[in-house]
Amino acid sequence: MVFEWKDEGKLHRIPKLEPGPPNVYFGDVFSTSSTDAPNPLTGSFFLLEKVEKPEPAPTYSYDESGIVFKGESAAILVHRGALFSNFGLLTGELQVVDEKGNSAKLLPGDTFFIHRGSTITFSTPRYAVAYKVAARRQMH
């Protein structure tokens, strides 16, 4: 097989990560087909929901890169003294903090790279969806 693809409907069926935190959904969708390939590559969908006390992911034993492409957060608007709240904006963010305290708020379209050996804590104000590619074999 030379080419694979998934339609957007796959985003609506990201499985719960088991075992894993209650707010993490994660599923491998593509992977190197040869089990003995020296440099495997796996693509995954990642959905994160808000949780009050986010926990760090296990220390990464592989390099990983990704792009945030969907999310939702609350927007508070003030216009002429009136307060409005809109929870339907696709302006969500994926918040990333590493073990040294470096942090970023990633919006849809933003990319990231996590080096092996890193310990990362992910969080979000409501939810975020990312596509991640890792130098590892398929897990789920």
Query: Which tens digits make up the pLDDT trace of 8-42?
Result: 877 678 999 998 899 999 999 999 988 888 999 99
Which pLDDT belongs to residue 73? 57
Q: What CATH code is carried by the domain that includes residue 111? A: 2.60.120.10
Could you read off the pLDDT of 83-122 as tens digits, one per residue?
A: 444 444 445 789 999 999 999 999 999 999 999 999 999 9
128 near 76, Cβ under 8 Å? no
Q: How far apart are the first and last CA of the chain?
A: 20
pLDDT band at 69 (very low <50, low <70, confident <90, very high): confident
Question: What confidence score (pLDDT) does residue 110 get?
Answer: 94
Tell me if 96 is assigned to some domain: yes
Residue 91 belongs to a domain? yes
Query: How high is the pLDDT of residue 83?
Result: 44
Domain containing 31: what range? 8-134
Count of domains in the chain?
Answer: 1
- Is 126 inside a domain boundary? yes
pLDDT in the model for residue 1 = 62
In a domain, 139, yes or no: no
**Residue 10 is encoded by which pair of tokens?**
């796959």
pLDDT of residue 60: 96
Question: Which tokens is 37 given?
Answer: 């390939």
Q: Is pLDDT above 60 for 6?
A: yes
Bridge-partner residues for 113, per DSSP?
65
Peptide bond into 19 cis (omega under 30): yes
